[in-house]
Amino acid sequence: MRRSKPLFGLYFFVIGFCTCLVMIALARSLGDSDRKETKLSKATTFYKLGQCPDCKVISTRHWKVGKLKDNNDLHLESGKRMGIKPFASNAEMEKELPGLVRRRKLKALDEKANSYRLKNLTHSQPYLVPKAVDLLEEIGERFHGKLKEMNLPAYYLMVSSALRTNESQQGLGKRNINATQNESSHIYGTSFDISYKEFLPKHEKPAPEGFCRHDMMRHPLAEVLTEMSKEGRCLVVKEVKQACFHITVLE
């Protein structure tokens, strides 16, 4: 019995030592997690719906916004006049696209542009005629200018659709009542859609469900579009179902 006491004590010593190591590792892990969470929180401040201070500033101002209901026939007329020959299929577009870009008939949208970001373009490709790209960039610049007037930080516009083929347009028309199955100015590369509900802060962290997505930003955006429409720069229609502004270049 006397010989078993040292072994018995060693047994408890090993268990105690291992337990201490586990506790130390766990404490360090929790500490690192807290530090990472704190860093993330500082970079991504989200507000419950209705509590965003930027949205509150915007809501106190009167915005001069038109009806923004230009007829689709006008969009098509401008598309046929200023745009490319529509692609019948996605395969045809993939084949012809490099040549059109090389001849400057189409221009790629910049994924890291100063004023906008691209959403997940499931039924379109990030290309437009050069004048439409210029229009998009100017819309973004004017939008940022209006925010700056109110001492608000810049937000990215979210482009939700651009160049389509007849094939992709027909597929989209089956589930989107705003997408006419027969013809859309998107097929000419002269039109693009900008979301009026989603605006991305400069840290590029989308707000989770139930938090403010800064949808009050639609007011300064709509004022910009109203101004540019009156200047004869573009046609605009507000598409409620898709929560976007459908915009076509005019000159």
Q: What's the rounded Cα separation, in Å, for the pair 101 and 187?
A: 16
Judge if 78 and 151 occupy the same domain.
Answer: yes
Give the chain's domain count.
Answer: 2
100 domain-assigned: yes
16 domain-assigned: yes
64 lies in which domain range?
A: 53-249
Which of 5-14, 27-36, 89-98, 164-173 has the highest mean predicted lDDT (pLDDT)? 89-98
Q: What's the rounded Cα separation, in Å, for the pair 216 and 49?
A: 11
Least confident of 9-23, 61-75, 164-178: 9-23
Per-residue pLDDT tens digits for 212-250: 888 899 999 999 999 999 999 999 999 999 999 999 999
Which residues of 96-153 form beta strands (DSSP E)?
Answer: 107-108, 116-118, 127-128
Per-residue pLDDT tens digits for 110-136: 999 999 999 999 899 999 999 999 999
Judge if 73 and 21 occupy the same domain.
Answer: no
Judge if 131 and 24 occupy the same domain.
Answer: no
Per-residue pLDDT tens digits for 31-59: 443 333 333 334 567 888 888 999 999 99
Judge if 26 and 85 occupy the same domain.
Answer: no
Q: What's the rounded Cα separation, in Å, for the pair 61 and 146?
A: 11
Residue at token pair 């959403």: 119
